[in-house]
Amino acid sequence: MAQRLQEEWLDGKFLIAMPNMADGRFAHSVIYVCAHSSEGAMGLVLNQPSPHLSIADLLLQLSIVREAEAINLSPRLRRMNVHRGGPVETERGFVLHSDDFLIESATLPIHDGICLTATLEILRAIAEDRGPSRAMLALGYAGWAPGQLEHEIQANGWLTGPADAELIFDPDQTAKWERALWRIGVDPAMLSTDAGHA
């Protein structure tokens, strides 16, 4: 089983936390896996918006816009949430976005038209309405050492499934966990919090 898992890299897939997730930071989380290899894994939590930081606040803090400009951000940009992408490097920003915007040597194409860019340049482009048509911004990321994610999956910590761009970029955070489970054919009400413990 471990050998089979190691051959199936999860780049571009969802990790969906099981109800018995031991790490409270990931309870009911949906993570988009950006990179997965024998060297470990990295992903962004999609359903934990930062409650005290708006996109306008962030752009002001980074000196990307001035206060007068922050007032006039487009409605589309104002609807964009700043997410807590995970507990690692929480001051660092990551943008998951559509592949209609690329920065040479900075944008990582992941899978099915989803890319990752972690530069101030993409935030400037988004603020000036010349960035990607779809984007999700996160501070920090979730990271796993070699073999750690595979172990957590085998221990019933996570379900995996194909990613869904609609879910990734939907600004409505309501029930993303439940929606991700339904997408892979799992009824959230049928999941036991004691899964895997006989």
7 — pLDDT class (breaks 50, 70, 90)? low
pTM for the full predicted model: 0.88
Task: Return the residue matching tokens 């036991």.
Answer: 192
**pLDDT digits over 9-55, tens only?**
999 999 999 998 888 899 999 999 999 999 999 999 999 999 888 88
Top-level class of domain 2-91+139-190: alpha beta
Domain ranges of the chain: 2-91+139-190
**pLDDT digits over 121-148, tens only?**
999 999 888 999 999 999 999 999 999 9
d(CA 148, CA 43): 13
Task: Return the residue matching tokens 């940009």.
Answer: 77
- The pLDDT score that the predictor gives to residue 192 is 61
- The pLDDT score that the predictor gives to residue 64 is 85
